[in-house]
Copies of this chain bind each other. A is one copy, B any other.
């Protein structure tokens, strides 16, 4: 036997007490895993990382105040960021791709079996590109296959400026208001909006709103 190896130190962030209970129960039962801190929202998680040394952060994608996705963006910019696993109730592409974009090491559904969660933690720590246990949609599978074969990403992502406009649209601002806000012309805003709709495959402002909320870009 090796002399007791260091456990993987985990920060667990989920706004639902009951979920934290369940996850902690499962993880602490493993000899090589240890939940060393909990957080009830994204902001708490980020703050906790300043006080506690952590190897892996498990983040619920949707939390009040600061979502898991927002927190992940901040965490990824730290000097020595821990690995990140996104925990989600929703088996949908949007959240999944957002998780990829923010640099998470995996995306785990809350409906998975215990062993899948445990395995995801270990795989994430091993440096694997991306973990996705359970039944994922075909679209996601294709995407990950391409990713694992080293192919470049189709680059559906929005530019920074488009992201700004996207948020303002989703918050219910009119084209004219956005133009004033960004001090650019009405026409340029229309141009950005057009590109956003095309890139995301959306039809109108209403769908942009839902997209942005789903992606955790704005609060409902």
Contact = CB atoms under 8 A, between A and B. Distances in A.
A17 B220 contact: no
A172 to B, nearest CB: 5
B18 A172 contact: no
Contacts of A172: 203-204, 206-207, 210
Contacts of A22: 17-23, 25
Interface of A: 15-23, 25-26, 40, 89, 109-114, 117, 169-172, 174, 203-210, 213-214, 220
Main secondary structure of the interface of A (DSSP, over half): helix
Given A22-B22, A205-B206, A16 B89 contact: yes
8 contacts: A15-B111, A17-B110, A18-B26, A172-B203, A205-B206, A209-B210, A210-B213, A210-B220
A17 B111 contact: yes
From A26, A203, A204, A210, name the one whose CB has the most chain B CB atoms within 10 angstroms.
Answer: A210
A107 to B, nearest CB: 14
B17 A19 contact: no
A169 B206 contact: yes
Contact of A206 (B19, B23, B209): B209
Contacts of A23: 18, 21-22
A42 to B, nearest CB: 14
B210 A18 contact: no
A206 B170 contact: yes
Contact of A21 (B15, B109, B114): B114
Given A40-B111, A172-B206, A203-B172, A25 B21 contact: yes
